Chain A
Amino acid sequence: MQEMGFQTAGYEAEPPEVMARNINVGVRLLSAAMVSFFGAFLFAYVYLKERDAGAVWRPSSVKVPTGTGIGVLACVLVSALLTGVAVDALRRRGEGAWRGPAAISLLLIYAALGVQCYQWASLPFTPGSGPYASVFVAWTGFYGGVALLTSIYWLQTMVTGSFRTRHVPAGPVVSVAGAAGGEGAISGRIQVEARSFAFYWYFLAGVQVVTFLLLYVVA
């Protein structure tokens, strides 16, 4: 429930407890909405593959671009792993220890997007080459355009903010559950956001694993 409001650290801040809950609950609901969204692509995949009456699901001329698919998957999984390392470092050693792994994790998401763009540019089939090609283009397209871009924006904002304020002296300690003591309001916010982002990014990494299995392995 809502706490008494107050101002912190020179800007009009959310009461940190409320902010933490808002972001925590929000990110879970966002993930639920994403399940519905990508569920529609999954349904299209299963439906069209199973009722492949004319045997045109994936003609032999449509080659699966496995190499670049592995590239995207690897970038996403390593990035998710590093996000976990970063959150753990934040919890144990504070914001300073979080920045490095978080920045590398961000670079890997950029890399995943880069590999994905390269894959689209060099795709060995067109979107109209059958139902498989259609699902492939739509699914990877929305994963890149929605999932990767939103993750990049979120993590980039946190990393940039953290690097900018790395020399700011510690402000008043904010009672965010589990916050690193002494790093003040900004650290408290990073703490909350980092954990929420990690949840979101693990979830999206899971989506990427499912994507890989269906589009590249089962195909």
Chain B
Amino acid sequence: MSAAAIPAAGPVREPWWRGLGRFNVFTGIVLGIGGYLIGALVIGHVLSKGIPAQTETNQNDIEFVCGILLGIVGFLVGMGFLNYPIARLTGAAPTLREKEEKGIARYFTLCTDHKVVGIQYLWGVLFFFLVAGLNAMLIRTQLLYPTEHFWSADNYITLVGLHGTMMMMMTTSMVLGPFGNYFVPVMVGAKRMAFPRIEALSFWLLPVAGVVLLAAVGAKGFPTGWTGYANLSVQAKLGMDCYLISFALIGISMALVGFNMLVTVYTMRAPGMTWTRLPIFVWSVIATAFLQLLAAPVLIAGMSLVLLDRVVGTTFFMPFSGGSPFLYENLFWFFGHPEVYILALPGFGLVLEILPVFSRKPLWGYRLAVAGLMGVALLSFFVWQHHLFVSGINPDLRPFFMFTTELISIPTALVFLNAMGTLFRGKIRFSVPMLFALALFFNFFIGGASGVFLSDAPSDVSTHGSFFVMAHFHYTIMGGLVFAFFGGLFYWFPKMFGVHLNEKLGKLQFWLFFIFFNLTFFPLFAVGMLGQPRRVSAYSPSLQWLNDWVTAAAYMIGLSFAVFVVNVVYSCFFERRRPEANPWHSKGIEWQLPTPIPVDNFERVPVINASPYEYGTPEAPLVANLNPSHAEVVAAGG
């Protein structure tokens, strides 16, 4: 039979279940469970033998911690994170790619395509945001009545802790995770991130940390709220170990993200992408990455020390043995205050990216904006003690930290100035991304102004630990970051998924969210001023009507998120409106690329010709030359 007579064989499709054995989430979970069992039942059991404090109580921290740590290692091994290091150790040549293929399977494995990691982050962050949001609903439900409650005080404080920790952990990645990973390499003209496997690892630590934190519920919870203060944390039940390990994991993830972003922006910019042509969003990522790189290691160390006190029996935080709880407070807030700006800065950068597009004007005061972002980042390391005004700080230090805290409002105000200057006489389009961007400034102004009362020691004494503080930081973090996140999501969704989200549903979500966000949190300033403390579910009956108002408004915020879910489902699966190539008429380099963006982003490394904010200048060149000649590359310094 001639060869021509044989019909050409198509690609043989192997059964789907064979893929399960190839280093993905499934193998990760299997090895993770195996690791937990070996860690807890074998290694932990052996190590804790002969330690009465562990074996003769109903709480063996050594077994539990060994189980969790080995479970994490097992998961990462199952995901394939050790394959490359071992291969390199045994002489394999270096490679940069892993599983950069098509299909949905790449989202459930170690993939080195930064766009895949960005989308992994997006769904991961949204999932944990949903879980933590549901916790918030449960908290508000508990507060419907001043004395009759749905849950015990122990369970209530665990709920509060879970909500706070999960939000603070996950929202650090809310902008940087999805949009930073997806768009920063594209915006600087690079084909990928500097260290793609580290990028993948930084994402996969996030769900691991989330699951470990949720496991605290099954381990009798933790009583400390999101701050985990010692020495209550040293004495708490097993659930505290979950808090400590998960927060340390997030710290590692944060430090890795910061590291990778900085290297990528510094070394992989395309020819012609000078520092003054960098999109302002990238500058905000730089400022945030510095904070992550330098602050997160202190968090990791702090969590480790508490874990050592609990497991090994060190005495860092036990006063009767020479330790000090204030040591923890300092370590925690040295990370904790920069953390606030880790949350805020990418949001600022994102809205400053959006404003010029929808007002058709160049970004006003570009250098001022950069100075503002970097100024906030720098000053944020010098304000942490204002969290300790009423908990043991040397009184002589109060004026200095009052001063530095109020000083930080100056660079923050520069960002506001940039926004107002950009909007002034602009041709403003009130599309959904623009609405979210504008709302950020309204909300953050209230958050910032209320912060002045907390930065002044005299007024802080009466408001500290009350719902006033709670309202303040929700105005800055939720009113700032979460609004920026949704603005960015509506803005970039067409580029990421090739689908335009429904505008009417988007506006409905925005107005519901904006109105009821303010109706929820503004009354809480009054609740706090009237003396209701945080983290306590019993309160004065005279405050019930205010609390009930807040709870009803909070449920409506939940409804606004439900509208978002409906919008995504409707737009992606029913309406399927394909967007034009550049639906917002943006000058950003990412909009010059096809949708979906190819694996390598650019066929050739581009040459950058102009700033991305040349709106209103008809003769302005395209930002990037995607097919440059050799001479053009050389001329641009390549």
Chain A 135-175, CB-CB to B under 8 Å as 1, else 0, gives 10110001000000000010011001100110000000000
User: A48 touching B327 by the CB < 8 A rule?
Assistant: yes
Given contacts A26-B259, A160-B91, A164-B91, contact A2 B270 (CB under 8 A): yes
Is A74 part of the contact surface with B, judged by Cβ < 8 Å? no
Within 8 A of A (CB), among B71-112: 85, 88-91, 93-97
* CA distance in complex: A13, B326 (Å): 50
Contact A128 B314 (CB under 8 A): yes
Residue contact B323 to A25, C-beta cutoff 8 Å: no
Is B269 within 8 A of A2, CB to CB? Answer: yes
Residues of A with C-beta under 8 A to B97: 12
A52 CA to B324 CA in the complex, in Å? 10
A51 to B323, CA, bound (A): 9
Q: Chain B 289-306 against A: per-residue CB contact (8 Å), 1 yes, 0 no?
A: 000011111101110110
Shortest CB-to-CB span from B285 to chain A, Å, is: 14
Please determine whether A32 and B324 come into contact, CB atoms closer than 8 angstroms: no
Report whether B321 and A13 are in contact in the complex, using a CB–CB cutoff of 8 Å: no
Determine whether A34 belongs to the interface, using a CB cutoff of 8 Å to chain B: yes
User: Which residue, B266, B269, B270, B314, has most C-beta atoms of chain A within 10 A?
Assistant: B314
Distance in Å: Cβ of B599 to nearest Cβ of chain A:
13
A203 in the interface, Cβ–Cβ < 8 Å?
no
Q: Does B314 lie within 8 Å of A133, measured CB to CB?
A: yes
Interface residues of B (CB under 8 A from A): 85, 88-91, 93-97, 189-191, 194-195, 255, 259, 262-263, 266-271, 273, 293-298, 300-302, 304-305, 308-309, 312-316, 321-324, 326-327, 330-331, 604-605, 633, 637-638
| Residues of the B chain whose Cβ atoms lie less than 8 Å from the Cβ of A127 | 308, 312-314
Q: Which residue of A has the minimal Cβ distance to B260?
A: A26
How many of chain A's residues touch chain B, expressed as a range?
Answer: 35 or more
Docked complex: A107-148 residues within 8 A CB-CB of B: 126-128, 130-131, 133-135, 137-138, 142
- Give the residue name and chain of the A residue nearest to B194 (CB): A22
**Which chain B residues border A10 with CB–CB below 8 Å?**
93
Q: How far is the CA of A26 from the CA of B323 in the complex (A)?
A: 36
- Least distance between B203 CB and chain A CB atoms (Å): 19
Q: What are 19 inter-chain pairs, A to B, with CB distance below 8 A?
A: A1-B637, A2-B268, A4-B605, A9-B93, A12-B95, A12-B96, A22-B195, A29-B263, A33-B255, A36-B295, A36-B298, A127-B313, A131-B321, A134-B323, A137-B312, A138-B308, A153-B85, A161-B88, A189-B94
Task: Tell me which residues across on chain B come within 8 A of A34, comparing CB atoms.
Answer: 297
Establish whether residues A130 and B322, one from each chain, have CB atoms under 8 Å apart when the complex forms. yes
The answer to whether A29 touches B638 (Cβ under 8 A) is no
With the chains together, A213 CA to B13 CA distance in Å? Answer: 64
Pairwise interchain contact B297-A36, C-beta atoms closer than 8 A: yes
Chain A residues within 8 Å of B331, by CB: 40, 43-44
In the complex, what distance in Å separates the CA atom of A48 from the CA atom of B314? 13
Q: Report yes or no: B322 in contact with A5, Cβ–Cβ below 8 A.
A: no
User: Taking CB as reference atom, which chain A residue is nearest B274?
Assistant: A1
Pair A11/B95 contact, Cβ less than 8 Å? yes
Known contacts being A32-B294, A48-B316, is A130 close to B321, with CB within 8 Å?
yes
The residues of A that contact B316 with a CB separation of less than 8 Å are: 44, 48, 131, 134-135, 138
In the complex, which of the residues A2, A39, A43, A47 contacts B638, with contact meaning CB atoms closer than 8 Å? A2
A165 to B91, CA, bound (A): 9
In contact, B294 and A36 (Cβ under 8 angstroms) = yes
**Which single residue of chain B is at the shortest CB-CB distance from A3?**
B638
Q: Cβ of A202 < 8 Å from any Cβ of B?
A: no
Contacts of B295 in A (CB 8 A): 36
Complex contact A32–B93 (CB within 8 A) = no
New contact pairs (13) apart from A1-B273, A40-B301, A47-B326, CB-CB < 8 Å? A1-B637, A2-B270, A29-B293, A41-B301, A48-B324, A51-B324, A131-B321, A131-B323, A134-B315, A142-B304, A153-B85, A157-B89, A164-B91
